[in-house]
């Protein structure tokens, strides 16, 4: 069994932030730290005290993490960014909210004495003697201490206090990973209630010493244990009074902690096979488990359940069949064509997840150039006369006011250009669309045409396709390109308005230019010629898109499997060592590509690639201390060369998000490698010693632990079949009572004389099997299962209800 923890984080918005700039405003952004390790940076929202971010992340962590903190910062172009305040949520706080922490939290002042991190290695023992013995404290080493000096390090020493006596270690200069190996002794007194306090400090020559953290021990407990040794987490000094809550503003957050115990793959086979059988049988199947799952799933849980089911069936090669089943179920209960797929049903949510999981690379190819053009042009665009801003423009050296009519006409021209470019790109993209997406849309198109035949419903199959393609995929990506990884930063107010108007135009085209869509916003009328032309283009595109036969689908999938896309690619700066002697901070820009086989590089994206590291040879991917090269956002990839010798390559990223994304990608693709390191050096070997811990043996064991299990979830992550099965299992166990009640109803109906005419088992039999499988999985979790259950769903006896 494997224990996994993940944090689902949504940073919504801030309000009433203090002004940090002379303009009376701020440029706020958020940094998210897990145990003082920065893992996420939001975009900066310029010139506001009430920023909106709306950014979502999912972070996978070891179960041993302690806290997640949200720092609100003010970006400054010329000086160091200002700290506005922070919100800290401990693991215990998150565990106390099974459905997640959601709401506004007051920002608190950031006190340097509370900004501590790292651990200290101590050995404590009680030495027998007279009159009451002696207390011996050995201060061995510390790791990951907070850098308090400008050089990116600290000058740490340790102060040990007990019963009025204080002793100090020597000072280790310029290190956050010091080693002392010093021992101190104190006289013990019988029944003394005094605590032993071990404090870490950063020594400063001129100013006062900086506090690095402390550990406090109960001597009575030590007396009983006689000896204790280990790594102890440094704690902050919380004795100071805080600034009044609310004076620094508030932050709206949604944070959910999930701890999952994932069983071996064989344990989930009965559940997976049972669900797959239901999907293969479709609406003719006996059990109808998928409708029961939808019926017992609340609206707030539906998106998560839809995503888990979709990924599970995608891994089994049944995503198209699963979605086809949902299409048929939705069509069976829909009487009006204009309400089709407009609700947040399991079909709508599953299709939405399907397009994001499978079609994101396709989306980037179609939308990317148009979005980039909008951001680069930064034109003022407005079609609503009530919102037009008349401004001065230059004209042949003479300045005259621009009329409202000119603003509206120029805006219409700009939007027509963007919309035309988008529709043209879409029309050319039929072959680029993933085969499984085309086949799924083909099934949707056919099912809707069968359900709503006749000339009066001619457009309904097209609208069914566009309700997902345009309304739930293209338009949301246009309005929020950062959330779909199309841009690194949020758009400013002017660009956001252009994107919103473009998204509205795409929605009108997707709605097939119905009178109802035109009537909502009459001021969109200048775009009507382009919209009408776009409707014809879109219908022609959809006709070609769904014209794919089974053989072509298989051929395209086979071709795609032979051309595995890169896991991650982009420009990075690689460190080059010139000659002998100290390392120099010389980085060269190259284009890197990470696949499931190797990390390679080239001079440009289109030039020939050279393999740098074979994937199977990677032993660790970790961050590098800023002081090592005098540069931030540097990572190291530790690997073995063909001769089996350890090597390290240093790569610099442009920002903290890019750094963590590359680390995540490298860790995920190498997670199953044999010989992964448990420790590493966060510094470099310069001259004759490591810059981090000052050890002189280059082959010395690392002074910090690796963080191979800290990763960010990305849209192109490989599927984790066991995790998806566990998440579905947990959800079904949560609605087990409702499923049992449904089983009672079905059983009562059978006993009352209802006759089952379908093939195979009666509906209650499939549900009974599901309930039995859930019982087996629940028992496996309780007992820590040593061997997997049977590989086939078994037919249980009568349920004890």
Range with the lowest mean pLDDT among 135-149, 230-244, 701-715? 230-244
Q: Output the pLDDT for position 788.
A: 44
Q: What is the pLDDT of residues 688-712, one digit of tens each?
A: 899 999 999 988 889 999 998 899 9
Contact 300, 734 (CB under 8 A): no
Answer CATH for 352-390+402-561 from 3.30.70.370, 2.60.40.1530, 1.10.506.10, 1.20.1250.20: 1.10.506.10
| Mean pLDDT over the full length of the chain | 86
Distances in whole angstroms, Cα of residue 612 to Cα of each of 545, 567, 608, 623, 664: 39, 16, 13, 19, 18
- DSSP assignment of 14-54 equals EESPPP-STTS---EEEEEEETTEEEEEPPP--S-SS-EEE
Indicate whether 669 pLDDT > 80. yes
Distances in whole angstroms, Cα of residue 91 to Cα of each of 35, 222, 651: 10, 27, 32
Q: Give the C-alpha separation, 572 to 411, whole Å.
A: 38
Q: Give the C-alpha separation, 38 to 32, whole Å.
A: 6
Residue 219 contacts by C-beta under 8 Å, 6 or more apart in sequence? 135, 162, 188, 192, 193, 194, 195, 196
Which comes out higher in pLDDT, residue 782 or 244?
782
Q: Output the pLDDT for position 488.
A: 81
Q: What DSSP character marks residue 235?
A: B
Average pLDDT over residues 588-613: 87
Which comes out higher in pLDDT, residue 163 or 177?
177
The CATH number given to 566-712 is 2.30.29.30
Indicate whether 202 pLDDT > 90. yes
Q: What DSSP character marks residue 237?
A: -
Q: Give the C-alpha separation, 652 to 655, whole Å.
A: 9
Predicted confidence band of residue 285 (pLDDT cuts 50, 70, 90): low
Q: Give the C-alpha separation, 342 to 479, whole Å.
A: 20
Average pLDDT over residues 615-619: 92
Q: Give the C-alpha separation, 390 to 470, whole Å.
A: 32
Q: What percentage of the chain exceeds 90 in pLDDT?
A: 51
**Alpha carbon 223 to chain centroid, angstroms:** 46
Predicted confidence band of residue 341 (pLDDT cuts 50, 70, 90): confident
Answering whether pTM is above 0.75, one says yes
As beta bridge partners, residue 260 has 4
Indicate whether 577 pLDDT > 70. no
Contact 490, 13 (CB under 8 A): no
Contact 296, 35 (CB under 8 A): no
Say which residue the tokens 């919102």 belong to.
387
Average pLDDT over residues 67-80: 91
If residue 142 lies in a helix (H) or strand (E), which one and from where to where?
Answer: strand 134-143
| 318, two tokens | 């049944």
Which comes out higher in pLDDT, residue 130 or 638?
638
What CATH fold (topology level) applies to the domain 2-111+243-257? Immunoglobulin-like (2.60.40)
Rg (CA), the chain: 31
392-395 and 618-623 as β-strands: parallel, antiparallel, unpaired?
Answer: unpaired
Nearest alpha-carbon partner for 208 in 148, 160, 167, 159: 148
Peptide bond into 131 cis (omega under 30): yes
Phi, psi of 152, rounded to the nearest 5 degrees: 85, 15
Tell me if 352-390+402-561 shares its fold with 566-712: no
Average pLDDT over residues 285-298: 80
> Which stretches within 108-226 are classed as H helix?
219-225
Q: What is the pLDDT of residues 386-443, one digit of tens each?
A: 888 766 444 444 456 678 888 899 999 999 999 999 999 999 999 889 888 999 999 9
Say which residue the tokens 């002998």 belong to.
580
Predicted confidence band of residue 752 (pLDDT cuts 50, 70, 90): low
The CATH number given to 119-233 is 2.60.40.150
Q: Which residues of 746-758 are buried (b: 16+ CB within 10 A; e: fewer)?
A: bbeeeeeeeeeee
Predicted confidence band of residue 340 (pLDDT cuts 50, 70, 90): confident
398-401 and 568-575 as β-strands: parallel, antiparallel, unpaired?
Answer: unpaired
Indicate whether 795 pLDDT > 50. no
Say which residue the tokens 């148009």 belong to.
370
SS3 assignment for 72-114: EEECCCCCCCEEEEEEEEEHHHHHCCCCCEEEEEECECCCHHH
Distances in whole angstroms, Cα of residue 243 to Cα of each of 108, 128, 247: 7, 47, 8
Which comes out higher in pLDDT, residue 249 or 794?
249
Q: Output the pLDDT for position 585.
A: 55
Indicate whether 784 pLDDT > 90. no
Q: Output the pLDDT for position 150.
A: 83
Domain locations in the chain as residue ranges? 2-111+243-257, 119-233, 263-316+723-749+764-785, 352-390+402-561, 566-712
Indicate whether 1 pLDDT > 80. no
Average pLDDT over residues 2-23: 91
Average pLDDT over residues 459-464: 92
Phi, psi of 39, rounded to the nearest 5 degrees: -125, -20
Contact 618, 636 (CB under 8 A): no
């Amino acid at each position: 069994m494997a224990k996994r923890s993940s944090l689902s984080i949504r940073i919504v918005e801030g309000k009433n932030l203090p002004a940090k700039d002379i303009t009376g405003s701020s440029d706020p952004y958020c940094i998210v730290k897990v145990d003082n390790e920065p893992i996420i940076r939001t975009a900066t929202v310029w010139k506001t005290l009430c920023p909106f971010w709306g950014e979502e992340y999912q972070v996978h962590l070891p179960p041993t993490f302690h806290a997640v903190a949200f720092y609100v910062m003010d970006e400054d172009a010329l000086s160091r960014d200002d700290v506005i305040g922070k919100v800290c949520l401990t693991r215990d706080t998150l565990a106390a909210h099974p459905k997640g922490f959601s709401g506004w939290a007051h920002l608190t002042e950031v006190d340097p004495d509370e900004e501590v991190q790292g651990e200290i290695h101590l050995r404590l023992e009680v030495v027998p003697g007279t009159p009451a013995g002696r207390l011996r404290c050995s201060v061995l080493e510390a790791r990951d201490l907070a850098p308090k000096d400008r050089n990116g390090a600290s000058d740490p020493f340790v102060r040990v206090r007990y019963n009025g006596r204080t002793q100090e270690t020597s000072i280790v200069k310029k290190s956050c990973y010091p080693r002392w190996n010093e021992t101190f002794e104190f006289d013990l007194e019988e029944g003394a209630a005094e605590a032993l306090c071990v404090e870490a400090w950063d020594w400063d020559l001129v100013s006062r010493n900086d506090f690095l953290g402390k550990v406090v021990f109960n001597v009575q407990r030590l007396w009983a244990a006689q000896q204790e040794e280990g790594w102890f987490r440094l704690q902050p000094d919380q004795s100071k009074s805080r600034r009044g809550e609310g004076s620094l503003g508030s932050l709206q957050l949604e944070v959910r902690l999930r701890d999952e115990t994932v069983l071996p793959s064989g344990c989930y086979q009965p559940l997976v096979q049972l669900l797959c059988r239901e999907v293969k049988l479709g609406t003719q199947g006996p059990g109808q488990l998928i409708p029961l799952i939808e019926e017992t799933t609340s609206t707030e849980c539906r998106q998560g359940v839809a995503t888990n089911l979709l990924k599970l069936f995608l891994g089994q090669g049944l995503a198209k069949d699963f979605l086809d089943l949902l299409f048929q179920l939705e069509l069976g209960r829909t009487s009006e064509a204009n309400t089709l797929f407009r609700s947040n049903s399991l079909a709508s949510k599953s299709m939405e997840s399907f397009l994001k999981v499978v079609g994101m690379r396709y989306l980037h190819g179609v939308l990317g150039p148009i979005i980039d053009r909008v951001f680069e042009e930064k034109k003022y665009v407005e079609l609503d006369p009530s919102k037009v801003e008349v401004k001065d423009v230059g004209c042949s050296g003479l300045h005259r006011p621009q009329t409202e009519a000119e603003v509206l006409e120029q805006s219409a021209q700009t939007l027509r250009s963007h919309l035309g470019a988008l529709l043209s790109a879409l029309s050319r993209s039929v072959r680029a669309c993933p085969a499984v997406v085309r086949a799924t849309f083909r099934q949707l198109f056919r099912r809707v045409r069968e359900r709503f035949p006749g000339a009066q419903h001619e457009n309904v199959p097209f609208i069914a396709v566009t309700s997902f393609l345009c309304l739930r995929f293209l338009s949301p990506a246009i309005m929020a390109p950062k959330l779909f990884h199309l841009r690194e930063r949020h758009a400013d107010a002017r660009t956001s308005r252009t994107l919103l108007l473009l998204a509205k135009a795409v929605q009108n085209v997707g709605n097939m230019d119905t009178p109802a869509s035109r009537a909502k916003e009459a001021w969109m009328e200048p775009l009507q010629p382009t919209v009408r032309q776009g409707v014809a283009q879109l219908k022609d595109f959809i006709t070609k898109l769904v014209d794919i036969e089974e053989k072509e689908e298989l051929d395209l999938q086979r071709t795609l499997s032979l051309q595995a896309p890169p896991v991650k690619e982009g420009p990075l700066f690689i460190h080059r060592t010139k000659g002998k002697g100290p390392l120099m901070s010389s980085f060269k820009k190259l284009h890197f590509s990470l696949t499931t086989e190797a990390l390679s590089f080239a001079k440009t994206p289109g030039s020939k690639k050279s393999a740098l590291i074979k994937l199977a040879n990677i032993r660790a991917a970790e961050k590098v201390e800023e002081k090592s090269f005098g540069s931030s956002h540097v990572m190291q990839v530790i690997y073995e060369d063909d001769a089996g010798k350890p090597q390290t390559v240093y790569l610099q990223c442009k920002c903290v998000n890019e750094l963590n994304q590359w680390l995540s990608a490298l860790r995920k693709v190498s997670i199953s490698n044999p010989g992964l390191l448990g420790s590493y050096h966060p510094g470099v070997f310069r001259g004759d010693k490591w810059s981090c811990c000052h050890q002189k043996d280059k082959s010395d064991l690392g002074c910090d632990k690796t963080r191979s299990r800290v990763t960010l979830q990305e849209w192109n992550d490989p599927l984790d079949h066991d995790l998806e099965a566990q998440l579905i299992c947990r959800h079904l166990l949560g609605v087990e009572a409702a499923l049992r009640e449904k089983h009672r109803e079905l059983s009562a109906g059978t006993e009352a004389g209802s006759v089952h005419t379908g093939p195979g088992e009666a509906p209650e039999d499939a549900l009974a099997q599901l309930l039995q499988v859930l019982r087996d999985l629940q028992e496996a979790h309780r007992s820590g299962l040593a061997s997997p259950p049977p590989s086939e769903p078994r037919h249980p006896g009568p349920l004890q209800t």
